[in-house]
């Protein structure tokens, strides 16, 4: 999807740092505090060689300069310094597939679920993200406006957390994924009443209306779920793109092909994928967020606290596929060979307090199994993830003008991608938060 272009003479227009690009009043940043990081090895995310003895200058929420010590002018007045000698500087990591209102712990069955409870759990999850070096997340399906309010709390500085982009409600067909009468995994009956997490739509014009409703609610992304007709998914994608809002889909089989042909921006953990569909995705420029870990968890362990047994998806019309971990790895391998952008997402619906951030690093290991190099995977967590997010001009690399989301590591991720776990400092929006 093309970035929102500005009219002539408006290139300096200040906007919100999300995909909506809403104009904001001008800000005089000259009085913003200055933070300087000195002496570390800079891996700026652009794919070049690491820069030793680097300096990064941050003013407010922006990077002012980043490069070799001899080439970066450090201001006379510095409010905060971080000595990073022997350490490694990388862009903040991105998780493209989370659900704030699905996060429930081992004892969740004891407590009634509600938006208030979900907001509390989601706020606690923010700390887990920062502890993992994750400075941007995309919520791809929430109950009512919980994720939006969490986003606002972070933006206003009420809580520390990564920047949040949210997708409003899932848009699903009647009886489709998100609107089935039985719960995936347990087979327990669901209410006939529609969920606050799902907007049921039927027919192309209703799918358009559903998209408009999410945009009115200030959604940064639109999230669709299969099944649908070609006309329905085309109408939804077209409507969102009219407003320069990106679209993703939880899909399977031929529905993935239709979504790619319609120009959708990314596909979330598609099942029943084949090379022919991958080739359509490659031709259409569609990104892939495989969330291999989500399927691996269901296949190997399930979620005992939620009563979901391992072995595969059960009792669901939209998940009538046997899970095959090696096949999932192979599909990612083929997607990578075709040049399809691959992002990192986790999709951990339960037991997040024990599975996160381990699930994120497990996902990186699976990408390694699929043939991605350490540099490829680091790009997926940063630069490629930012482009998929729709914020490639603001995030994903450490260079002048970008938002100051940055992680300082104790060891080199280009030698071993699991060194991303060796976190020493985290900056989010220019502030030292860890």
73 and 118 assigned to the same domain: no
Cβ atoms 94, 386 nearer than 8 A = yes
Residue 283 tokens, joined = 């031709």
380 and 401 assigned to the same domain: no
Q: What interhelical angle do 204-216 and 230-242 show, nearest 10?
A: 30
User: HSE of 49 in the Cβ direction (CA atoms, 13 Å)?
Assistant: 4
72 and 206 assigned to the same domain: no
Phi, then psi, of 68 in degrees rounded to 5: -60, 145
β-strand pairing of 406-409 with 88-91? antiparallel
Please report whether residue 23 resides in a domain. no
Per-residue confidence band for 314, with pLDDT thresholds at 50, 70 and 90: confident
Per-residue confidence band for 272, with pLDDT thresholds at 50, 70 and 90: confident
Residue 199's domain is classified under what CATH number? 3.20.20.140
- Does the N-terminal peptide bond of residue 12 adopt cis geometry, omega within 30 degrees of 0? no
Residue 78's domain is classified under what CATH number? 2.30.40.10
**Domains: count for the chain:** 2
Question: How close are the terminal C-alpha atoms of the chain, in Å?
Answer: 34
Cβ atoms 195, 150 nearer than 8 A = no
Per-residue confidence band for 108, with pLDDT thresholds at 50, 70 and 90: low
What number of other Cβ atoms are within 10 A of residue 293's Cβ?
A: 26
133 and 79 assigned to the same domain: no
> Is residue 7 pLDDT above 50, yes or no?
no
Please report whether residue 18 resides in a domain. no
Mean pLDDT of all residues in 382-396:
98
- Give pTM, 2 decimals: 0.94
> Is residue 16 pLDDT above 80, yes or no?
yes
Question: Which residues touch 415 (CB under 8 Å, ≥6 apart)?
Answer: 374
User: What are the E-state strand segments in 253-350?
Assistant: 266-271, 287-289
> Cα(364)–Cα(387) distance, rounded to whole angstroms?
18
> Cα(102)–Cα(385) distance, rounded to whole angstroms?
22
Please report whether residue 25 resides in a domain. no
> Is residue 302 pLDDT above 70, yes or no?
yes
The 10s digit of each residue's pLDDT in 328-346 is: 999 999 999 999 999 999 9
Q: What is the DSSP letter of 98?
A: E
Q: Which among 250, 212, 245 has a CA at the least distance from the CA of 102?
A: 250
User: What number of residues does the chain have?
Assistant: 434
Please report whether residue 190 resides in a domain. yes
> Cα(307)–Cα(403) distance, rounded to whole angstroms?
42
pLDDT at 10: 43
296 and 404 assigned to the same domain: no
Q: Which helix (H) or strand (E) holds 130?
A: helix 115-131
Instruction: Give the percent of the chain with pLDDT over 90.
Output: 73
Please report whether residue 27 resides in a domain. no
> Cα(166)–Cα(281) distance, rounded to whole angstroms?
24
> Is residue 124 pLDDT above 90, yes or no?
no
Per-residue confidence band for 104, with pLDDT thresholds at 50, 70 and 90: low
pLDDT at 418: 98
Phi, then psi, of 277 in degrees rounded to 5: -70, -40
110 and 125 assigned to the same domain: yes
Residue 405 belongs to what domain range?
A: 32-91+397-432
> Is residue 110 pLDDT above 90, yes or no?
no
70 and 98 assigned to the same domain: no
Please report whether residue 37 resides in a domain. yes
Conformational region of residue 351, where left means phi above 0, alpha means psi within -120 to 50, and beta covers everything else: left
Please report whether residue 127 resides in a domain. yes
What number of other Cβ atoms are within 10 A of residue 208's Cβ?
A: 18
**How high is the mean pLDDT of the chain?**
91
Question: What is the chain's alpha carbon radius of gyration, rounded to the nearest angstrom?
Answer: 21
160 and 289 assigned to the same domain: yes
Collapsing DSSP states into helix, strand and coil, what is residue 59? Answer: strand
154 and 62 assigned to the same domain: no
288 and 406 assigned to the same domain: no
Per-residue confidence band for 6, with pLDDT thresholds at 50, 70 and 90: very low
86 and 97 assigned to the same domain: no
pLDDT at 2: 47
The 10s digit of each residue's pLDDT in 28-50 is: 888 899 999 999 999 999 999 99
Please report whether residue 123 resides in a domain. yes
Per-residue confidence band for 354, with pLDDT thresholds at 50, 70 and 90: confident
287 and 172 assigned to the same domain: yes
User: What are the E-state strand segments in 266-332?
Assistant: 266-271, 287-289
């Amino acid at each position: 999807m093309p970035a929102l272009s500005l009219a002539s003479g408006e290139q300096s227009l200040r906007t919100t740092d999300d995909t909506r690009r809403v104009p904001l009043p001008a800000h005089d940043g000259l009085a913003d505090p200055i933070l300087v990081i000195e002496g570390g090895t800079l891996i700026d995310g652009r794919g070049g060689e690491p820069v030793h003895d680097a300096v990064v200058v941050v003013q407010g929420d922006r990077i002012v300069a980043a490069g070799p010590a001899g080439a970066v002018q450090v201001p006379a007045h510095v409010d905060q310094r971080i000595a990073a000698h022997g350490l490694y500087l990388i862009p903040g990591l991105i998780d493209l597939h989370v659900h704030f209102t699905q996060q429930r712990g081992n004892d969740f069955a004891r407590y009634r679920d509600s938006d208030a409870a979900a907001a509390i759990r989601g706020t606690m999850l923010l700390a887990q993200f920062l502890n993992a070096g994750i400075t941007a997340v995309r919520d791809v399906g929430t109950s009512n406006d919980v994720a939006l309010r969490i986003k606002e709390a972070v933006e206003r500085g009420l809580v520390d957390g990564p920047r949040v982009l949210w997708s409003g409600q899932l848009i699903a067909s009647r009886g489709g994924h998100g609107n089935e009468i039985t719960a995936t995994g347990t087979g327990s009956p669901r209410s006939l009443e529609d969920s606050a997490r799902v907007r049921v739509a039927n027919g192309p014009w209703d799918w358009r209306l559903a998209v408009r409703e999410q945009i009115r609610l200030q959604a940064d992304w639109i999230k669709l779920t299969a099944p649908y007709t070609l006309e329905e998914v085309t109408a939804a994608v077209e409507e969102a793109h009219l407003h320069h809002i990106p679209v993703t889909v939880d899909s399977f089989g031929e529905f993935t092909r239709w979504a790619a042909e319609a120009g959708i921006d990314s596909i979330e953990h598609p099942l029943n994928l084949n090379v022919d569909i991958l080739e359509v995705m490659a031709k259409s420029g569609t990104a892939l967020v495989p969330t291999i870990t989500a399927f691996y968890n269901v296949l190997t362990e399930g979620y005992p606290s939620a009563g979901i047994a391992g072995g595969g998806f059960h009792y669901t019309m939209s998940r009538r596929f046997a899970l095959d971990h090696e096949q999932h790895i192979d599909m990612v391998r083929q997607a990578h060979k075709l040049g399809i952008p691959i992002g990192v997402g986790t999709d951990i619906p339960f037991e997040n307090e024990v599975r996160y951030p381990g699930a994120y690093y497990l996902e990186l290991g699976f990408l390694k199994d699929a043939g991605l190099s350490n540099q490829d995977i680091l790009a997926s967590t940063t630069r490629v993830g930012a482009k998929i997010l729709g914020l490639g001009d603001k995030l994903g690399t450490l260079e002048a003008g970008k938002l100051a989301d940055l992680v300082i590591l104790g060891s080199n991720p280009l030698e071993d991608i699991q060194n991303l776990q060796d976190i020493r400092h985290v900056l989010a929006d220019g502030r030292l938060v860890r």
